[in-house]
Amino acid sequence: MTSEATPRLALEDDTRPAAPSATALIVVLVGTFITVLDYFIANVAIPSIQSDLHAGSTQGQMVIIGYGVAFTAGLITGGRVGDLYGRRRMFVLGMVFFALSSAACGLAPDAGALIAGRVVQGVAAALMVPQVLGIIGTVYQGAHRARAFTLYGLVIGMAGVFGQLIGGALITWNVAGASWRAIFLINIPLCVVALALVRRSVPESKAAAGSRLDMIGAALVTAALALLVFALVEGRAQGWPAWSWACLAAAAVLTAAAVRHVRRTAAAGRGPLVAPALFRSRPFSLGLAATGAYFLAMGSFFFVLALYLQFGRGMSALGSGTVFLAVGGGYFAASVFSSRFTDVVAGRIAAGPVTLAAGYVLLGLAIAHVGTGGQVLWLVLPLVVAGLGMGLTTGPLTNLVLASADPEHAASASGLLNTAQEGCAAIGVAIAGTFFFPALGHHGDYAHALDVTLAPLVVFCAVAAVLVLLTRSRAKV
């Protein structure tokens, strides 16, 4: 393969700090936090949005789906763009558009404008997020990089856990009289501060000159991912109409065409959208698959637990967000513990999804005992255990995958990893819905529905643990 197919890393020496910068890490993690936060925080605002903008249920769903589809579909292309045109440059561009689209969402006069703003937000997030792991991989080495990846995992988890709490608090307290609009406007000052610091703290890195963006590959991959995620998420909500199956079939055809195109592009010595060499690494391929299985289990859990708490137990958005603090406590403790280890040991990482599965089993037993009317304190211990499992998995598994990729493919590997994370979280919600809503029945038995849905989540955890063990990685990073 030529140098175009495997571009070497080129750092601009005049902007690179002499030592790993804590400010650089904080800046890029702010970008990660707000993009993940915006996926979860909007969930609790939908009733207020529908009431204020006189929007229907379909429009309310599109506020969530528009962001998720645009975000997931653009991640691989966003990673490649960072490789070619500069990771810091694309991070800055993505954050600028994220701030502008957040303002557009916060000031939206009607549902159509809000949905359009959310789609632009998703595109901006897809441009920004892949650069985060690419920047971490080039700025930090060895133990510093392993700890940075652990902090990255911590930020993802905290954004997911606290998203509903923050959203519920902003809406309940009606901050500055903005109601639901505050959940979008809060992004703007965070973006402004990060943009003020990024040029002084984050070095530029990109691929060697001569490579070009594979536009055909980008179009095929983006369209395939958009159709897949949209069909699975919205198709489930609509009862699997004919158009959803047509979208899935089209996604399969486009995926096959994209794989063939990438292989032909690489064989011809041109820079493909995704380097096939990445998949020759056993730890990378299996670790990526394990990431997908893990996020199927984790992302959907937040969704069904929120349904149980808010609709089954009648808790407010703020009240249900408070319950999520038990998950956050376990997550934080486990993340701090796992940051002590800078080597990639499959057995230790596999303990994470096993612990998460144990938390789900304990939660199922607790739910069967208390139903929807018993003491919520029975749920605390299982939720803490689940949080421990998440904290033991997210950062170390990220480290395993990215440590297995060559530095010249850092942003592309990040794009694939982020796609597995965000895409499988969205797909997991669709899968969970196929179990949860039929089990809910006409009587609205939310406790039974949650118990039934936890079973496939335990299976996903088991699959993730097995895949991690199969990597047999003992490499120092």
The alpha-helical segments, DSSP class H, found in 203-277 are 215-237, 242-267
**Among 43, 187, 197, which Cα is nearest to 121's?**
187
CB 154 within 8 A of CB 26: no
The CATH number given to 9-471 is 1.20.1250.20
Per-residue pLDDT of the chain (477 residues; tens, 9 = 90+): 333 333 333 334 334 444 557 888 999 999 999 998 988 888 778 878 888 999 877 788 788 888 988 998 888 888 888 888 888 999 999 999 999 999 999 999 999 999 999 999 999 999 999 898 888 877 887 778 878 888 888 888 888 878 878 888 888 888 888 889 999 999 999 999 999 999 888 888 876 655 677 888 889 988 998 898 888 878 877 888 999 999 999 999 999 999 899 888 888 777 778 878 888 888 899 999 999 999 999 988 988 898 899 889 988 878 888 898 999 899 989 988 877 765 667 778 899 999 999 999 999 999 999 988 889 999 999 999 999 999 999 888 988 888 888 767 766 788 888 889 888 888 888 888 889 988 988 778 999 999 999 999 999 999 999 999 998 744 444
What's the rounded Cα separation, in Å, for the pair 363 and 93? Answer: 43
Contacts of 56-62 spanning 24+ positions with Cβ under 8 A: 56/111, 59/111, 59/112, 59/115, 60/111, 61/234, 61/237, 62/115, 62/118
What's the rounded Cα separation, in Å, for the pair 246 and 249? Answer: 5
* Residue-level pLDDT at 8: 37
pTM of the model: 0.84
According to DSSP, residue 208 is labeled P
* Residue-level pLDDT at 11: 39
Phi, psi of 343 (to 5 degrees): -100, 160
What's the rounded Cα separation, in Å, for the pair 393 and 399? Answer: 10
* Residue-level pLDDT at 20: 59
* Residue-level pLDDT at 344: 63
